[in-house]
């Protein structure tokens, strides 16, 4: 029973590492660790009960133990990951395929190296070999596959479901192979079938990851397009400011002549009033300095002017320093999308109430809070707006680079988005 407890604990650790590696964390670290810790306890207790009640030699002990532990693991993964359901299904099915492949390999290795072991010893050795095979598999996933998986959004549901279906077909083949190997032992034909299926599956995975890379390229192109649109807006604003400045320089002599005439006519109050109006016109044509950071200041000015043109009141406070570790492109992805959604939210609900934007540095963290009126039928699930559009997907991708977090909440028709980034 001690050996059983050890192998059960090692197996659950392997499962937890895999699911944690695939998870796009939805909840705080403490809550996530607590949930997986409870699952580890449940897994160990369930496995020990299965072997104790059914007996080690029972043909039902492995299916009973497997179903009773893997199903809660899948439900836990679906609950704790913030990815779309379609993307999570693909990850689960792919992991199930890998799990079956590792089981087949452990059977072939143990039967080849230790053919004369008892059923109990054979079970222990297979479990240990299976756990050891998980180590390089996890490392390969973390180094090569995970960077692609985390950068691709889950809004392309049809593509994710299509590649999930292909993976599921292979899962049925691998599950059948496991059944044959455990029932009849390995034969030359079964080994050839396993190797052939593995080669075909690897080729399919190559195509699948090519598809994922293509989706990743599409996402990057969308971000580049968004940056180009932002820069075009900045260029238009710069041209407008240049035209205004040129007109002011052209009219400057006339302004001085008017002031000189008022003073000569001994009308100092009129001259002062004229000067005040002239200063106000200069202030209206100049860019507001919200904060020292050039890109953030440009983004805030761009949307400040956009809101003014739409007749929407907007209040902005920011203290973002000039030098910060957050890349300019990520500021565009996060801040531009937040502000664009805020302006669009006001337009869609027909409200011209105030948009409030606040950027504050707190203990090496940048906190961005944006509040705006919105439609009352907006759906928020797990602190995220549903359905997630491309803008929110871009925000989530940029936030993930800084191990950050975003939370949406709505109260009395006001939608508030809070973003926290580690600087």
pLDDT reading at 235 higher than 70: no
311 inside domain: yes
Q: Are residues 6 and 128 in the same domain?
A: yes
pLDDT reading at 236 higher than 70: no
Q: Please, how many CA atoms are within 13 Å of residue 149, restricted to the half-sphere of its CB?
A: 23
Q: Are residues 297 and 420 in the same domain?
A: yes
pLDDT reading at 387 higher than 80: no
Q: Are residues 77 and 214 in the same domain?
A: yes
Average pLDDT of the chain, as a whole number: 82
> Considering 200, 225, 250, which residue would you say is the last residue of a domain?
225
pLDDT reading at 2 higher than 60: no
CA distance 360 to 318: 6
252 inside domain: no
pLDDT reading at 153 higher than 80: no
pLDDT reading at 284 higher than 70: no
338 or 285, which is more confident: 338
> Considering 225, 248, 263, which residue would you say is the last residue of a domain?
225
Q: Are residues 297 and 208 in the same domain?
A: no
CA 145 to chain centre: 15
Residue entry with tokens 């392997």: 14
Q: Which spans in 145-285 are helix H?
A: 146-151, 157-184, 188-264, 268-285
CATH code for the domain in which residue 324 is found = 3.30.565.10
Q: Are residues 219 and 336 in the same domain?
A: no
Q: Are residues 304 and 186 in the same domain?
A: no
Q: How confident is the model at residue 240 (pLDDT cuts 50, 70, 90)?
A: low
pLDDT reading at 318 higher than 90: yes
In the predicted model, what is the mean pLDDT of residues 118-147? Answer: 84
Q: Tens digit of pLDDT for each residue in 26-65? A: 777 888 889 888 888 888 788 778 777 776 666 666 667 6
166 inside domain: yes
Domain that holds residue 367: 289-423
Q: Tens digit of pLDDT for each residue in 155-186? A: 678 888 988 999 999 999 988 888 888 777 66
Indicate the number of domains in the chain.
Answer: 2
> Considering 203, 225, 247, which residue would you say is the last residue of a domain?
225
The DSSP string of 290-338 is: --S-HHHHHHHHHHHHHHHHTT--EEEEE---SS-SS-HHHHIIIIIHH
CA distance 369 to 358: 5
pTM for the whole thing? 0.59
Q: Tens digit of pLDDT for each residue in 205-234? A: 888 888 877 777 777 677 667 666 666 666
- Picking from 21-25, 88-92, 154-158, which range would have the lowest pLDDT averaged per residue? 154-158
360 inside domain: yes
């Amino acid at each position: 029973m001690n050996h059983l407890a050890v192998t059960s604990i090692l197996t659950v650790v392997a499962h937890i590492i895999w699911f944690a590696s695939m998870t796009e964390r939805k909840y705080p670290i403490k809550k996530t660790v607590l949930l997986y810790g409870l699952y580890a306890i449940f897994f160990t207790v369930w496995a020990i009960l299965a072997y104790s009640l059914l007996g080690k030699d029972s043909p039902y002990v492995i299916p009973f133990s497997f179903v009773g532990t893997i199903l809660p693991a899948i439900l836990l993964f679906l609950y704790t990951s913030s990815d779309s359901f379609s993307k999570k299904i693909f990850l689960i099915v792919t992991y199930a395929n890998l799990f079956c492949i590792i089981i087949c390999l452990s059977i072939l290795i143990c039967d080849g190296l230790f053919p004369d072991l008892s059923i109990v010893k054979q079970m222990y050795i297979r479990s240990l070999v299976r756990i050891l095979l998980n180590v390089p598999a996890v490392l390969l996933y973390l180094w090569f596959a995970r960077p692609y998986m985390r950068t691709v959004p889950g809004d392309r549901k049809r593509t994710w479901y299509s590649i999930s279906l292909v993976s599921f077909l292979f899962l049925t083949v691998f599950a059948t192979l496991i059944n044959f190997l455990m029932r009849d032992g390995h034969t030359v034909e079964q080994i050839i079938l396993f190797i052939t299926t593995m080669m075909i599956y690897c080729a399919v995975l190559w195509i699948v990851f090519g598809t994922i890379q293509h989706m990743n390229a599409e996402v990057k192109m969308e971000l580049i397009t968004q940056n180009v649109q932002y820069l075009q807006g900045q260029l238009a604003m710069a041209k407008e400011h240049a035209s205004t400045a040129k007109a002011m320089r052209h009219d400057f002599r006339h302004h001085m002549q008017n002031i000189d005439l008022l003073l000569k006519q001994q009308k100092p109050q009129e001259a002062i009033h004229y000067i005040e109006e002239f200063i106000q016109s200069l202030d209206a044509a100049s860019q507001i300095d919200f904060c020292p950071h050039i890109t953030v200041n440009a983004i805030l000015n761009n949307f400040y002017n956009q809101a003014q043109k739409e007749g929407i009141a907007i209040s902005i406070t920011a203290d973002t320093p000039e030098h910060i570790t957050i890349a300019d492109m990520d500021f565009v992805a996060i801040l531009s999308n937040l502000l664009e959604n805020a302006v669009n939210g006001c337009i869609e609900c027909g409200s011209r109430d105030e948009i409030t934007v606040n950027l504050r540095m707190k203990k090496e963290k940048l906190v961005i809070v944006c509040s705006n009126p919105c439609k009352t039928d907006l759906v928020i699930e797990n602190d995220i707006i549903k359905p997630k559009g491309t803008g929110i997907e871009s925000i989530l991708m940029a936030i993930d680079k800084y191990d950050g977090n975003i939370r949406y909440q709505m109260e009395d028709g006001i939608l508030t988005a809070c973003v926290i980034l580690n600087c």
